[in-house]
Structure formats: structure tokens, C-alpha cells
Amino acid sequence: MEYFNVGKIVNTQGLRGEIKVISQTDFPEERFASGSILDLFNGDQKVQQVVIKHSRINKGTYILKLENFDSINEVEKFKGYSLKIAEDQLDELEEGQFYFHEIIGLKVIDQQRGEIGSIKDILPYGANDVWVVDTGNGKELLLPYIKSVILKVNTDQNEVLVDIPEGLE
């Protein structure tokens, strides 16, 4: 079975077993909701399933309380671990919506310049996500996910057609 990242545990929070998580998912409100079941991974090794007792946002990170983990000593070993979901936990998306894992790695084709690189990361920001393009020359290009810039996403052909506005390149 294939698993997909939803978060990275970066630290503990307080003494009562809470963990700090950087979101790596399109749907953090759903993935980190009370009662959500996630798989805990150390590298490529599945460690165990965990259940979210409750969560909150603090300065851009999620603070999660896991069921049956009540002290810092029990969760400290999880620093650096990943939280993942199994493929069968993915929801059907509406047309024009995509999961991060479907976008990362796609070739980026500009209408004027041709192929300019590939998508290496997605940064979720308020109004719209920002797609990070590896241009292959040691530089990155940041593209806002808006209709005037991202013209067409074709996962079947493994590419994204874009129109990079002046000043952004």
C-alpha cells in the first residue's frame, strides 16, 4: 500500500505529550481533526497508527495531542518522524483540484519560453498556494496558484502550462 505525507513532527510542545507538526497536506483541517487516524513513520518504516485527540494552530504549525500519549517523555522520540495517510484514505477531489503528490514533479512549460523546470514543492499560503519550480540552474521560481499564471494542469502528460508574468521570472 502507498502512503502520503500529511505532516512532519518537528518538536514537542509542553509537558503533556503534545507535538509540533509542520503541515504537508492540502487539507490540514481534515487530516488533523479530532478522531483522525494517521500512520506514524520513522523514515520509510511504519511505526504505528495514532489517533488525533485534538489539535490547534500556533504560529503556522499544528500542535497535536495524540490519544494515549500523555507526557513529553512518550512523544520526544517522535521528533523527525512523519505522519502519513494510506492511499485508501484519500478523498475524491472535484475537477480542477489536485493533491500535492500529483503536482510535485510535474514539468513546467511556459507559453513563451518552453520548458523551464519541474515543481519541487508547494507552499500553502492563505489566499492561494505557491508552487516552487526547480529551474535546474540552482535557482527556484515561485509561482502563485492563480488562473492567470497556472493555465492548465495535465497530470496524464505530467506537465503544467503556465504564463509567467513580467517581473516574476
Please give the Cα distance from 157 to 129 (Å, whole number).
22
**Sequence-ordered list of residues with C-beta below 8 angstroms from that of 167, at least 6 positions apart, any chain:** none
CB atoms within 10 A of CB 74: 13
pLDDT of residue 48: 94
- Domain boundaries, position 133: 100-162
Please tell me whether residues 33 and 105 are part of one structural domain. no
* Number of domains forming the structure of the chain: 2
pLDDT band at 169 (very low <50, low <70, confident <90, very high): low
pLDDT of residue 27: 80
Q: Decide the pairing of beta strands 159-162 and 45-58.
A: unpaired
Please give the single-letter amino acid code of residue 90: L
> Taking the chain, what is the end-to-end CA distance rounded to the nearest angstrom?
39
Mean pLDDT of 143-163: 90
In a domain, 152, yes or no: yes
Please tell me whether residues 10 and 57 are part of one structural domain. yes
In a domain, 93, yes or no: no
Please tell me whether residues 63 and 108 are part of one structural domain. no
- The last residue of a domain, from among 43, 65, 88: 88
168, pLDDT greater than 70? no
> For position 43, which CATH number holds?
2.40.30.60
Give the residue, 49 or 93, on which the prediction is more confident. 49
In a domain, 94, yes or no: no
Query: Coil, strand, or helix at residue 144?
Result: strand
Please give the Cα distance from 116 to 167 (Å, whole number).
16
Helices vs strands, H then E, count in the chain: 3, 12
pLDDT band at 126 (very low <50, low <70, confident <90, very high): low
Please tell me whether residues 70 and 137 are part of one structural domain. no
Please tell me whether residues 105 and 69 are part of one structural domain. no
pLDDT band at 103 (very low <50, low <70, confident <90, very high): confident
Please tell me whether residues 108 and 60 are part of one structural domain. no
Mean pLDDT of 92-103: 79
- The last residue of a domain, from among 64, 88, 112: 88
Model confidence pLDDT, tens digit, residues 17-34:
999 999 888 788 889 999
**Sequence-ordered list of residues with C-beta below 8 angstroms from that of 128, at least 6 positions apart, any chain:** 144, 145, 146
Model confidence pLDDT, tens digit, residues 60-82:
889 999 999 999 999 999 999 99
Please tell me whether residues 157 and 83 are part of one structural domain. no
In a domain, 8, yes or no: yes
In a domain, 16, yes or no: yes
In a domain, 20, yes or no: yes
Mean pLDDT of 112-138: 85
In a domain, 120, yes or no: yes
Please tell me whether residues 72 and 115 are part of one structural domain. no
> For position 136, which CATH number holds?
2.30.30.240
Please give the Cα distance from 72 to 100 (Å, whole number).
31
